[in-house]
Chains A and B, each alone.
Chain A
Amino acid sequence: MLRFLRLYGTLIGMAAIVAVFWALLPHTFMTARNWLNITQQVSMLTVVAVAMTVVMVVGDFDLSVGSMASLSGVVAAVLFVQGWSVPAAVAAALVLGLTGGLINGLLVSVIGILPFVATLATLTMYSGCAFILSGGKTIFGRDIPQSFADFAKSGVPLGSIADKPVLLPWLTVLAIAITALVHVVLELSTYGRRLYAIGGNAEAARLAGVRVTLLRLTAYGFTGVGAALAGLMYASRVASANPTQGEGLMLNAIAAVFLGMTVTRHGQPRVVASVLGVLVLGIMDNGLTQLQVDSYVRQVLVGLIILLAVSISALGRKAIGRR
């Protein structure tokens, strides 16, 4: 029973949450439009959680993703103000993300600082940089090119309902593409198998000829780029950039990966599982908002759901381990 709950508890819980919202919101929840909306709402978080999965596979984690997301949005916006083209500014922000990620990797893997300490420090630094660059203000309006803001508003037409076109948002498409890409890299590439080996036993991997230091470093590069991309998606969606807009991403991304780990065998981080975790969080958020549940109450509920899932998983593992 416990074993069953451990592996499928989160899935059952997810189904239960969907069922409850469906019952309470009979007209608005279970609609194509709402689900497309949810996918768009969670697209940024998906990208960050998927990128976070890469470092967590290695056994590390990255606290700086939220402030990196803010920073990349701000940098793109500042470059727009300077008259840079959209592709140039976007590329610059992504390179910044890569650099920031590799700095984390350098601190953790080469210098040997604990991930918690290193990325806590860079979290503060990246956030400070975002404030300095933006002057602490939101950059919006004419400064943001129309084509950049339009990206988040448009998508692939799927048909129409009641004469209104239904779009698969580009943000969703992008999130799916990133998920697919990282999934393939982690599960099928040599690089990915080596990352899993490091997470499984770093010393054994080193003695077996895996370049542990280098690979840990590059994993952080992935996460940095992912965070920067999510920051750009967010900036596009709200057509503005401010130095705090990525704040919620880090905790939610870590929560999503942990939720995902509850459905995998041996509790290992995997991309598809992380996306499942993101969906649980996104569905909760969407449903509770529609039910007009106070946002503070919402936080408590989301925290409880995470604890419940992880507790069941831990108890289940204990029950299995006892034999």
Chain B
Amino acid sequence: MTQLSLQDVVKTYGQTRALDGAALNLRSGEVHALMGENGAGKSTLIRILAGLEVPDAGVILLDGAPVALSSPAQSERAGLRFLHQELQVVPAMSVAENMHLSRPYPTFGFGLVRWRALRKAAGAALDRLGVSHIDPDTAMGDLGPGDQMLTRIAATLIETTGPRPWAYVMDEPTAALTGAEAERLFSAILTLRTAGHAILYVSHRMDEVFRLSDRVTVLRDGRHVSTHATPETSRDQIIADMTGREFADLFPVASPQIIKVGHDVPLLAVRNLSAGPLRDVSFTLRQGEILGLAGLSGSGRNHLLRALIGAVPRQGHVVLNDADPGTTPTACWAAGLAYVPRERRAEGLMLHRPLSETVALPHLAGLSRAGFVGTSGLGKMVTRFAAGVRLKAQGIHQPTAELSGGNQQKVLFARALAGQPKVLLLDEPTRGVDVGAKFDIYTTIRALAEQGVGVVLVSSDLPELIGLSDRIGILHAGRLTQIIPAKGLTEGALLALCYAAEAA
């Protein structure tokens, strides 16, 4: 049995102590969950394991003997492998070639590649992981993010003469995956564990942690708080460890009387909408209602939001307060729709620009006089809405790249709220966001709904969907098959409905 153990690890960046007495013990044959809020030090710990950072103090022992992890090469020699949130792949090359990117190709000599051997090695590794549905000849770019990730894991299983991997570090691996893709990943993880490998599993998703892990380590403010055997702990215990306080309930309760007030006033009517994979989608969103959208991979959930904000061409009728909001993003924002996109870095933020610019961008016209930006008005607006979503930043001019994931998301919420929207379109609003920021975001969404704003919420986090929504629409293969009240639904029931739609 192999065992890696970190003790009393300290790492400071300038003034901030990222790690201040962190500890971790990882054994072969276990799935070990690492949890903590953003800023708790998980990323720094992973960077240390990857050899990207050298700790200022602390002990790292591999099977009881001190080991240096001061470069990525040393980390690889110690048998550690990393799966990052953003995967590096070459989309135009085949799966088999992508799997050989970091290792020598089998050759006849003189650099002539033995293509059949290459394909065979890749195929064998995929089989070993139990993911033989992936064809080594497919172009990597044709695979979904889940299969790309499985391919990357399988690549480490190709037989080579080098050091054999024994431990995998997975940082939020399901963040970009749909339910079905995540299921495949979970079974691959269990295959790895059965084969005696260790998996360090970093995730914000409680259900995954309880389902997969054998032990849980919680970090808070750079310190080791607890390590429990998973069956002997509870969700509440872990949240208490992460936050240092008790969380009665993550989802703010809807106050029933206010919801009753506006609830019969239709706000957004969608009739026979078709766009991309979507076919004949019709629904009515009422004032103050939160409509959740659930569905499996490829059901068109986030396509629906993109169609509603005018980002993709659409057919059919959309009526907002008896008027057509238009078919371009410019028109839709102006009409009172606001959008928080799924990929916040790619689709939402100007990373190297001051955060105030991202917040103000859709509202510039209203903030300008004769084509010139009123700087003080802009500053006031940004400050007000940043405070409203409890954004933590050094000031409104800080570049968004320097903020944590949760605060970046809050920038996009501030942006959406700054226009006083009538309808809020939210695509995975709490993806990669820590528990504290999640709570703030939920509170914000609830507060808006109580003021009469309609919310369309897409989320692959089922407890979140059930906890926030008034009604939930099930999308299947581009069709909205049914809309049901969220109250009383369980995760299992909802998932069953998604799959039932598939069977129907």
Contacts and interface: CB of A to CB of B under 8 A. Distances in A.
The 7 closest A-B CB pairs, nearest first, are A200-B350, A209-B333, A190-B368, A209-B330, A266-B352, A209-B329, A208-B362
A193 B13 CA distance: 33
Interface range, B side: 35 or more
Interface stretch (B267-275, B289-297, B341-349): B341-349
Nearest to A214: B330
B361 A197 contact: yes
Max chain B Cβ within 10 angstroms of own Cβ: one of A197, A201, A203, A209: A209
Given A189-B373, A190-B368, A266-B399, A207 B352 contact: no
A104 to B, nearest CB: 23
Given A188-B373, A190-B364, A196-B353, A207 B348 contact: yes
B13 to A, nearest CB: 6
A237 interface: no
Contact of B353 (A191, A200, A209): A200
Contacts of B371: 189-191
A194 B351 CA distance: 15
Interface string A206-226: 111111000000000000000
Interface of A: 188-191, 193-194, 196-197, 200-201, 203-211, 266, 268, 323
A193 B359 CA distance: 12
Given A207-B309, A208-B329, A200 B362 contact: no
Contacts of A200: 350-353, 357
Contacts, number: 88
Nearest to B14: A323
A206 B372 contact: no
A208 B349 contact: no
B333 A208 contact: yes
A194 to B, nearest CB: 7
A197 B350 contact: yes
B4 interface: no
A56 to B, nearest CB: 15
A243 to B, nearest CB: 38
7 contacts: A197-B353, A197-B357, A203-B346, A204-B358, A206-B311, A206-B329, A209-B329
Contact of A323 (B13, B331, B362, B364): B13
A39 to B, nearest CB: 28
A207 B353 contact: no
Contacts of B311: 206-207
A205 B357 CA distance: 11
A197 B357 CA distance: 7
A308 B328 CA distance: 45
Contacts of A205: 350, 361
